[in-house]
Structure 1
């Protein structure tokens, strides 16, 4: 959504400046601002330009339209590229993951308004930033296990760093969460009501060059309020108890033994997902927990994408969700007990062309 009157240029990504604020606006509202390779390149170019400009104090990322910041990557392109074996999906993921690392290490304050749907790649352009703002419309998720994929864009790093087992729940179930839970899971930092975002954006435009992250934090603090209540805080003990195991089977059994309706709901959500994706995701999350930085996790995720295009569930999940839209995927193998190390281990083979090597 546009909060300022600055002139902006571009097509699927609009960029410009107002005062000392660099502006990046994702501009594909008809497809929920889903990212393409050209969009990633445009974001990188804008980040380069703003970083080199001494008059730019901070950068603001937003999304056009009423429905959300960004629903993720262009899944249909992944599907078509995987079928064709033309490498386009790999090219996009390489560029996207490198952009995620760039955002995480950006030298100027990077502010993002995480309005509406913020999922998958939308989390990648937001939750790696320095100043992450959710609002009353935020709907955040990493829903990849529902399409035969796994949490990527550096999400294994973010999920592994979430307090307790909140990240394990998010990664396995793909459940959509609101503002309070996004903050509880450390995917965001502040809640600012949607009605106050325009005023906050205006105030960002008058910050002096050389502004520090702390200066921006103080500005956001003044606009922030307590978020509406979420679910994680009240269910934290149950979540940590049930999702603390290192096998999906043990997690499922723990949830099944609970009498709380919350446990029943998240168990049902998890068990509807691709069994292969569940096992790969949990293995990636546990590996990320032992990793020292984001780039290691991005490298591991990128290597895993080389295997996913050879996995039936990847195509079946996208078919059911995006192509035919029947929402009735037929997973293969269909059950957890049919998925052994021979299926999971290939996802951990090093990629022949590393991201950061």
Structure 2
């Protein structure tokens, strides 16, 4: 799932965060202010407040594609992921393949490497240091300037990687 999110830029909603195990509770947005206020008033009772204010969300959209995501995004090799998607004639795979073809191949490869390397780091601070090093280098690479040109300057959405 992490590789899918990193490569496609897909975003998770609350139901998907709960489904993916990133969140422990689902609180509808209209109940957030009340939930926060109750936690501030009684922080020792955090678990009970979350249980009381939480709800069961609608089904996570990504859950229906869990098997495909697991199968196609299992590799840490970008070309293998592309080939896997190309071998699937589903509409979903075609959509994800189109998304990936619009991304900088260099950036996708860096993201996959970063995910692999991050599992060997000891702390959040180490991960943030790696993130900073990567970001500072990516900014001076030609793909970054090309992406800015295609998306922001010319607004043609046709980067030439």
TM-score range, shorter chain: 0.7 to 0.9
- Alignment pair present for 1:284 and 2:114: yes
Q: Distance in 2 between matches of 1:184 and 1:326?
A: 36
**Counterpart position of 1:131:** none
**Counterpart position of 2:35:** 200
Q: Distance in 2 between matches of 1:325 and 1:191?
A: 40
- Alignment pair present for 1:216 and 2:46: yes
Task: Report the Cα offset of residue 327 of structure 1.
Answer: 4.8
Q: Distance in 2 between matches of 1:327 and 1:193?
A: 37
Calculate the aligned-residue CA RMSD, in Å. Answer: 2.0
Q: Distance in 2 between matches of 1:205 and 1:247?
A: 45
- The superposition leaves residues 271-316 of structure 1 with CA deviations (integer Å, 9 ceiling, x where unpaired) of 2111111111111111112333322221211111231122122223
- The superposition leaves residues 156-200 of structure 1 with CA deviations (integer Å, 9 ceiling, x where unpaired) of xxxxxxxxxx00000001023322222233443322112222322
Task: Report the Cα offset of residue 222 of structure 1.
Answer: 0.8
Identify the match of residue 253 of structure 1 among 65, 78, 83.
83
**As a proportion of its length, which structure holds more helix?**
2
Give secondary structure in 1 for the equivalent of 2:41. coil
Q: Distance in 2 between matches of 1:202 and 1:224?
A: 15
Q: Distance in 2 between matches of 1:174 and 1:258?
A: 21
Q: Which has the higher contact order (CA 8 A, sep 6+)?
A: 2
Residues 229 and 308 of structure 1, relative CA distance in 2, 3 Å threshold: same
TM-score under structure 1 length normalisation: 0.42
Q: Distance in 1 between matches of 2:115 and 2:158?
A: 24
Equivalences, count: 161
**Counterpart position of 2:11:** 176
Worse-matched range after superposition: 195-204 or 224-233: 195-204
- Alignment pair present for 1:275 and 2:110: no
- Alignment pair present for 1:266 and 2:101: no
Identify the match of residue 134 of structure 2 among 304, 319, 327.
304
- The superposition leaves residues 92-134 of structure 1 with CA deviations (integer Å, 9 ceiling, x where unpaired) of xxxxxxxxxxxxxxxxxxxxxxxxxxxxxxxxxxxxxxxxxxx
Q: Is the 8 A contact 1:252 1:267 kept in 2?
A: yes
Q: Is the 8 A contact 2:150 2:158 kept in 1?
A: yes
Task: Report the Cα offset of residue 329 of structure 1.
Answer: 4.2
**Counterpart position of 1:328:** 157
Gaps of 5+ in 2: none
